[in-house]
Structure 1
Amino acid sequence: MPVLIGSYADQYSTYDDDFKPLAAPVRTPAPSFLAVGPTGIRYAVGELDAGQVSAFTPTGELINTLPTGGGGPCHLAVDGDRVVVANYGGGSVAVFALRADGGLDRRTDLAQHAGASVVADRQEGPHAHHVTIRGNLVHAVDLGMDAIVHYRLTPEGRLDHVRTTTVQPLGTGPRHLVFHPGGRVFVANELSSTVSTYTSGFEQLDEKPSCLVQPVGDNLPSELALSRDGRRLYVANRGNDTITTFSVEEDGLLPIDEVSTGGTWPRHFAVLDGALCVANQHSGTVALLDLDAETGVPSQARVVLEHPSPSAVIPID
């Protein structure tokens, strides 16, 4: 499956199934995260103090760029004719309408978060880190507030606040979430080095350490993802530089294994056909970990390409 590799090196790149470049890198400021729209248009954040979001054609031509209304945009999601962006530095969530050609039309809303939590150097204010669109609902994970903020996305592109789920214990620092087909929600907690399980209504059921091997220093979970059949949950650990595999059980998560990512600081990964593809940001490498067909456990990592400061792996379906 072809993939896009986002980075902090002012470029993103496109690779085929064998990790050979399909085109020259696309030059754009700090495209740390990307998403692919239904027509193949690429949307990339520009993780700058003056945050921006850009739209590109499938061949890499810039369509247009708009400001996100907040600093440090680090994540985005696209659904139909809307793009939603999480501004980490600004602690806000922005919504953009799309034009017929897939370009960005205008910003239709900017929801500013307010609040802080107990870790002084990381939670001095709101830090929106991840956004998910499900139907007409937007769920925004805010590391700075120790919260998941739930919005209703109106037909006009407005974010109507529904409620806020406060994460416990304070200081957990939620980062990313994933919805299981069975209804549960799993959240990677960056500051507490844990992964939490919630009901579909965001009532907390369980919390587990994100790694099996005791970290020597800080360990900061980043991305998490489910296997295609929903039987396994994978969590990346920056510090241990590993992927932990959990079995998804009726009564919670059961840790199975923890394997090296073959590099340092796995910021993001994606589940491809039969493998995990990991962006090791600090070692400047992208690694592939084949998945055992029976157990779903990843094998020893092998580096498949070198890329400056890789930060995201986005499959192109």
Structure 2
Amino acid sequence: MSRPGLVIGGYTPDTEGSGPGLTVARQHPDGRLEAVAETAVSGPSFVIAHPRLPLLYAVLERAEDGGLAVLADEDPAPRLLAEHTSGGSLPCHLAIDPEGRWLVIANYGDGTVTAYRLGEDGMPEPEPLTFRHEGHGPNPDRQECPHAHEAVFGPDGVLYVSDLGTDEMRRFLPGMRPHPDGPVRLASGSGPRHFLHHEGYWYVTGELDGSVRVYDAEWREAGAVRASDAVLEGEENLPSHIALSADGRYLYVGNRGPDTISVFEVDGPRLTMVSEVPSGGSWPRHFAIDGDRLYVANQRSDSIALLVLKDGLPEPAGEALAVGTPSCVLIR
């Protein structure tokens, strides 16, 4: 059997979902996706790989005692090695710096950012650093307190953490030192979720205002567009994940509500929509790109959809893979 290509994380019955934990899948030459193994873990809503070692890390998105799972990346399925605290509630994202020295967790529930120093073996060391935050945004239902959402190490070695609850980008210098100038204020009420850096610009999805905003290197807003043109009157769009094509020409955005993937042509601060296609299911929470294939975790339809990229533009391809409440896709 060839090495499986996907590790799928999602919610389990104890975290208000129906998934088994981690699902390992492979793709056959005819395009058909097949689940080949499972690993029982509690609510692994986001999964990443160590940059050098055969290890996977997953946040365990529990409300009372958020967790971190460390797993050996083995065939046919990852093997649980250890669990640690996430340092907060409802952890939803994590990142490792390129050198593999720090692992950082974004806890959505209370906004806490937790940082573990990693040993040479990739295992988290005791006594993690925890960074709490204060503040709120104009939306009383969604921005009553900090909600750390995604952690990204920038090209300058600085760690950036989007805070949906406070409309801020929190910053940490190398060595996990809080930036002396504090966080950067983003557009009020936008609810920054996922983001990325490309050629001097930052591209940020606004979960609460349905936008994609562009910021320059100094975090000054340089442009903004609607994430979807398919939103019906009276409905809302909650953009989720964002990613670039390998050549940097196209920006892809998942839209929960209209259930689409939008494609924008990138020209520095200018984004021009060139396509918007169905995500292949309901509530596209996350997606991953592997060459000319785009895999979408459609959380509410319990499925992983495959879209084929033709000249960078996605098209439906084949049947979806049934997986309970998937929330992320990792390409192995």
Could you tell me whether the CA contact under 8 Å between 1:231 and 1:247 is conserved in 2?
Answer: yes
- Which one of 187, 192, 204 corresponds to residue 187 of structure 1? 204
- TM-score, structure 1 as length reference: 0.93
The residue number in structure 1 matching 2:49 is 36
Counterpart CA distance in 2 for 1:249 and 1:282 is 34
Q: CA deviation at 1:120?
A: 0.4
**How far apart, in 1, do the equivalents of 2:232 and 2:130 lie?**
38
Q: Which amino acid aligns with 1:7?
A: G
Question: Structure 1: how far apart are the matches of 2:318 and 2:229?
Answer: 21
In structure 2, the CA distance between the partners of 1:251 and 1:56, relative to structure 1 (3 Å rule), is closer
CA gap 1:179/1:165 in 2 versus in 1, 3 angstroms: same
SS of the residue 2:122 aligns to: coil
1:167 matched residue in structure 2: 186
Provide the TM-score with structure 2 as the length reference: 0.89
1:161 CA drift (Å): 2.6
- The amino acid of 1:186's aligned partner reads Y
Q: Which amino acid aligns with 2:303?
A: T
Cα pair 1:215 1:239 within 8 Å, conserved: no
Residue type of the alignment partner of 1:20: E
- 1:262–1:301: 8 Å Cα contact kept in structure 2? no
1:249-275 Cα distance to aligned partner (Å, 9 max, x none): 145101111100110000000111102
Contact 1:111–1:159 (CA under 8 A) maintained in structure 2? no
- Structure 1 residue 107, shift from structure 2 partner: 4.1
Residues 1:311 and 2:327 are matched in the alignment? yes
The partner residue of 1:125 within 145, 158, 174 is 145
Q: 2:25 pairs with 8, 15, 33, which one?
A: 15
**CA contact 1:65–1:104 (8 Å) conserved in 2:** no
1:145 lines up with 2:166 in the alignment: yes
Residue 190 and residue 303 in structure 1: after superposition, are their counterparts in 2 closer, same or farther (change >3 A)? farther
26-35 or 3-12: which moved more? 3-12
Q: Are positions 1:207 and 2:224 aligned together?
A: yes
Q: 2:122 aligns with which of 88, 102, 105?
A: 102
Q: Deviations over 1:1-55 (max 9, x none)?
A: 8121010025011222433334x21111100001000212010000002111010
Alignment of 1:76-95 (within 5 A): 76-79=94-97, 80-95=100-115
Q: Is the 8 A contact 1:7 1:311 kept in 2?
A: yes
Are the aligned partners of 2:214 and 2:269 in contact in 1 as well (CA < 8 Å)?
A: no
Pair 1:177-2:198 in alignment: no
Q: CA deviation at 1:103?
A: 2.1
1:37-76 matched pairs, under 5 angstroms: 37=50, 38-49=52-63, 50-59=65-74, 60-76=78-94
1:291 maps to 309
Structure 2 contact 202–217 (Cα < 8 Å) conserved: yes
Q: String of CA shifts for 1:175-211, please: whole Å, max 9, x gaps.
A: 010111x121100100000000111221110110001
Deviates more, 1:121-130 or 1:89-98: 89-98
Alpha-carbon distance in 1 for matches of 2:325, 2:23: 12
Q: Structure 1: how far apart are the matches of 2:53 and 2:128? A: 21
Matches within 5 A, 1:254-265: 254-265=272-283
For the residue of structure 1 that corresponds to 2:301, the secondary structure is coil
Match of 2:134 among 77, 97, 114: 114
2:253 is matched with which residue? Answer: 235
Aligned length: 308
- Secondary structure of the equivalent of 2:315? coil
CA contact (8 A) 1:243 1:258 kept: yes
How far the C-alpha of 1:106 sits from its partner, in A, is: 2.3
Deviation at 1:137, TM superposition (A): 1.1
Paired with 1:127 and 1:68, the residues of 2 have a C-alpha distance of 14
Deviation at 1:90, TM superposition (A): 1.7
2: CA distance, partners of 1:41 / 1:187? 29
1:107 to 1:268, Cα distance in 2 relative to 1, 3 A: farther
Aligned-partner SS, 1:106: coil
Gaps of 5+ in 1: none
